Each structure stands twice: as C-alpha cells, then as structure tokens.
Amino acid sequence: MIRFLAISALLAAPALAAPRVIPASDLLINESTPAISWRWRMVPEAAKQPALLAALRSDALKAAATAKAEAANDAASAKKDGFPFRRYESISDWSLAADTPHLLALAGENYAFTGGAHGNTGYTAKIWDKTAQKAVPFSALFTDWAKARTLIEPAYCAALATEQKARGGNAVNNCPKLADQPIVPWAGLATRATQLRVLLGPYTAGSYAEGAYLITLPWPEGVKPLVKPAYRDDLFGTMP
C-alpha cells in the first residue's frame, strides 16, 4: 500500500521543466558584406542568463545594421569619387570577467577598421545581477561609490604607472580618470571576484604603440565595508 501511494505521488507530481537549451549560433553573429566584415561573439556563460543574452544580441544586430549601411555608403562614395576603398572590419568579442553566485561580469573588446592607417580597439563592460535580472553599473555595487572611488583610484593609478614604466611609456600625469573607464569585478578562474580590472584601450593611457592597458588589482583595504551586502560575498567570499 505504501509503495502504491509513493508511485501515485510521483505520477501526480508535476514534471520538472527541461532546461532551456541555447543554440551555439545565438552566441555568434556574422553579418559580412562586400564592404565590411562584421562579427560579434559572446561568451558561453551568457547563455545561462537569457534576458541578458537577448538584450546584448539585439544591440549587436542593430549595430551590425548601422555598420553595414555606413560601410556601403562609404564604398559607394569612394567608387563615385574614384578613390580606392579598403574593406571595413568590425569585431566585438565578449569574454568572462567573473561568474559569481549573484553576478556575471563581462568584458567586451571591440575592434574597428574604417579605412585609416590602422584599426583601433576599445573596451566596454557589462555587469548582470542574476537575482534582480538586470544590468547594473559598477558604481551600483557600493553603498557609497564616491568614497569607494577615493580608495580604488590611487591603487589603480599606481598599478597603471608601474605598467606604463615597464612599457617605456610616460606615466607622469597620465592616469585617466577611473570614473571614465570601463571596470569589471575580476575573478579569473575563481568563483569570487576578489580583484577588479580597469579596461583602457590604445591611446587612453599612452601611445598606440603601447597598446591596451588591462589593469588588474586586488580590492584596496577599506573597500569591503562600502560594498553592498548583497554583493559582498561575491567579491570577498569568506575573506576578513
């Protein structure tokens, strides 16, 4: 009788929903034309956050349409005026910065060539709150971002100056404002983002020859109490 009741209960219980499968094709967009080679590539971890992936993919498709139209117009103008046209190129590549219990942080590297002497690279950042299901700016991780910035900025500038010196650049009075740069919590291979990374493209903190500066540093002392309780474990875990 007990066995019969158990089987009946299992049969009556609702079936577990199958996990949503995101096709790999959703993580890659190629929109090439004779005038431009355009590519967008998303990190696989974003597939676990369908709302985030949908928003980023929608933005990418809009950017592709704009880029294709501009390239076509420029190619047509060059042909009309008798000038050579060098095919444009655009690449957006998102990589994983941190995947913690409550946050997914992504770093976007964007390369564009539009016929000049060389292409150029820039960076962007996206931080996704898994619980709230929304994107949040880096500043939203703190109860008092202004105060946290006064602790982070000197450490960031010191780390940048060290790297600039190592590359033979000019570190004097050349620390771009932290508030103007893309920043992501940084975990590497860990499950807690115990560091942060500031993303500086070429020309931002030095000459083009110096390349990009990806400045990674641990959270400075005194920052932890300024992190919102909802995110504290994501950034510090069990650290004191």
7 pLDDT band (50/70/90 cuts)? Answer: very low
User: Can you say how many angstroms the Cα of residue 40 is from the centroid of all Cα atoms in its chain?
Assistant: 13
> pLDDT tens digit string along 99-151?
999 999 999 999 999 988 889 999 999 999 999 999 999 999 999 999 999 99
Of the candidates 141, 169, 174, which has an alpha carbon nearest to the alpha carbon of residue 156?
A: 174
What domain range includes position 224? 20-236
Q: Report yes or no on 6 lying in a domain.
A: no
- Residue 79's CB is within 10 A of a number of other CB atoms, namely 11
SS3 170: coil
What is the arithmetic mean of pLDDT over 155-174?
84
> pLDDT tens digit string along 14-26?
445 555 667 778 8
pLDDT at position 239 is 53
> pLDDT tens digit string along 20-61?
667 778 899 999 999 999 999 999 999 999 999 999 999 999
Q: Report yes or no on 188 lying in a domain.
A: yes
Q: Report yes or no on 43 lying in a domain.
A: yes
Q: Give percent of the chain above pLDDT 70.
A: 88
What is the arithmetic mean of pLDDT over 57-70?
97
Q: Average the pLDDT over each of 17-21, 36-40, 70-74, 85-89 and give the range with the smallest value.
A: 17-21
pTM attached to this predicted model: 0.87
Please give the mean pLDDT across all residues of the chain: 90
Q: Give percent of the chain above pLDDT 90.
A: 79
pLDDT at position 150 is 97
**CA gap 54, 56 in Å, rounded:** 6
pLDDT at position 209 is 87
Q: Report yes or no on 214 lying in a domain.
A: yes
Q: Report yes or no on 9 lying in a domain.
A: no
Please determine, for residue 196, whether its predicted confidence score (pLDDT) is greater than 70.
Answer: yes
Higher per-residue pLDDT: 13 or 77: 77
Residue 94 belongs to a domain with what CATH number? 3.30.565.40
Of the candidates 44, 25, 22, 148, which has an alpha carbon nearest to the alpha carbon of residue 106?
A: 44
Total number of domains in the chain? 1
Please report, as a single letter, which amino acid is at residue 96: L
Q: Report yes or no on 1 lying in a domain.
A: no
Please determine, for residue 201, whether its predicted confidence score (pLDDT) is greater than 60.
Answer: yes
**CA gap 45, 179 in Å, rounded:** 27
How far lies 154's CA from each of 4, 21, 38, 158, 207, in Å? 69, 44, 38, 6, 22
pLDDT at position 168 is 85
Q: Report yes or no on 130 lying in a domain.
A: yes
Q: Report yes or no on 89 lying in a domain.
A: yes
